[in-house]
Amino acid sequence: MPVNFTPTPPEALKPVPGVRLGVAAAGIKKPGRRDLTVISLEPGSRVAGGFTRNRFCAAPVTVCRERLGEGRPIRALVINTGNANAGTGAQGLADARRTCAEVAQLLVCPEESVLPFSTGVILEPLPMARLLAGLPQAVADLAADRWGAAAEAIMTTDTVPKAISRTVVIEGKPVTVTGMAKGSGMIHPNMATMLAFIATDAAVAQPVLEHLVREAADASFNCITVDGDTSTNDSFILIATGRAGHGEIDRLDGPAYAALREAVTEVARFLAQAIVRDGEGATKFMTIEVNGGKNRAECRQVAYAIARSPLVKTAFFASDPNLGRILAAIGYAGIDDLEVERVRLYLGDVLVAEHGGRAAGYAEEDGVRVMRAPEIRVRVELARGEASATVWTCDFSYDYVRINAEYRS
């Protein structure tokens, strides 16, 4: 059960002109489950992406980087769940390319205009026969209103589909932004086993789109952690089909970019938070806010030290205001000249620690009250600068261990 999260009903997901989606049950891992998705884009669409920094990146990530790096026009995406095609060596690369070639043939477009994505178990070869056999069905299913079906078909251990739409007006034209993501375990920057696809019919110049994908990621997918692991397959793709009818956005300082950025970031943040809310075994959603740092990097360091600590995460699971564990995490976050006497720690609005120790007015029952809620805000004031950072995470429960101990069985 995700924490405080209701999936968007499929009918509330707005089609994006120029984008069609289709799904199929290819039996990649389990028979009968929809596990294969094809997204086709009208000619003239622009695509930008951000990918995992894991050196053992999956074969499809390598292929995506190559094709986007060469500036090739992109006409389709193909996504399978059940198998990550990671740690699969030369065969994995060949399989990813073969999958794209097959999609290209079905859609009548160049092989290099197709981007592959995979998620699931690593170190096992893609079951190519079943995957390829499923592609015609996915292509036959292509339609503009299949975002809901696709959001389900990309899930792995996710318990709910994650998708949302926003609209914004640019130069008097309505512009749609619709996105979907899958996450669940291994979520940490940079972007863990997470796939996210956001599409808009805005018209955006390629360099501007590439800037936007980074800005949106930094305010969303790069601010979350479930278990601190960085996956082999993380990918965030931003598509702009250019069908909305306004003038192309080719600069960062105008109102058009600002409006689009706000909508895309809002969708990305919704999806990122949804991934945490549906984190493996999650029972609590925590916002870790660090203010007063010398720069954003050190604020993020402190926020992540708290968000990643298994001791902090189990205390949140237990609704135990064991705040010393948070102080300890702040202390080992790596700020060598931190003056701990100046640090203030708040749980919700309750000041719990200052002057290097428990705050005089703090009563444990106030801490317990905050900790019992399914949404908890931790605020750290470092009092040494003006920078801030926020990270979202979830607790560590019995179920986290169960899910990850049983994942392959």
Stretch touching its own copies by CB under 8 A, among 142-150, 243-251, 356-364, 375-383: 356-364
Given 25, 320, 344, 383, the residue binding its own copies (CB under 8 A): 320
107 versus 350: smaller Cβ distance to its own copies: 350
Given 137, 291, 301, 322, the residue binding its own copies (CB under 8 A): 322
Distance CA 127, CA 130 (A): 6
- Minimal distance in Å, beta carbon 269 to its own copies? 23
Tokens of 61: 């990530």
* Cβ 185 vs Cβ 157: under 8 Å: yes
Given 45, 113, 176, 231, the residue binding its own copies (CB under 8 A): 231
Given 9, 11, 32, 55, the residue binding its own copies (CB under 8 A): 55
Distance CA 130, CA 280 (A): 28
159 versus 230: smaller Cβ distance to its own copies: 230
Residue positions annotated with a catalytic role: 193
Q: Could you give the string, one character per residue 275-314, with x where binding to its own copies holds by CB under 8 A and - elsewhere?
A: ---------------------------------xxxx--x
- Minimal distance in Å, beta carbon 93 to its own copies? 9
Q: Residue 90 burial (CB < 10 Å; 0-12/13-18/19+)?
A: exposed
Q: Could you give the string, one character per residue 379-408, with x where binding to its own copies holds by CB under 8 A and - elsewhere?
A: -----------------xxx-xxx-xxxxx
* The CA-based dihedral angle spanning residues 155, 402, 394, 335, taken in that order and rounded to the nearest 10 degrees: -120
Tokens of 397: 């429960």
Stretch touching its own copies by CB under 8 A, among 3-11, 133-141, 161-169, 222-230: 222-230
* Cβ 17 vs Cβ 199: under 8 Å: no
* Cβ 202 vs Cβ 175: under 8 Å: yes
Distance CA 148, CA 163 (A): 7
Count of C-beta atoms within a 10 Å radius of residue 11 = 8
Distance CA 245, CA 404 (A): 47
* Cβ 88 vs Cβ 255: under 8 Å: no
Given 86, 150, 256, 371, the residue binding its own copies (CB under 8 A): 86
Interaction between residue 353 and its own copies (CB under 8 A): yes
* Cβ 93 vs Cβ 62: under 8 Å: yes
In the complex, the residues that contact its own copies under the rule CB under 8 A are 53-57, 84, 86-92, 121-125, 185-186, 227-232, 308-311, 314-315, 317-318, 320, 322-325, 327-332, 335-336, 338, 340-341, 353, 355-358, 396-398, 400-402, 404-409
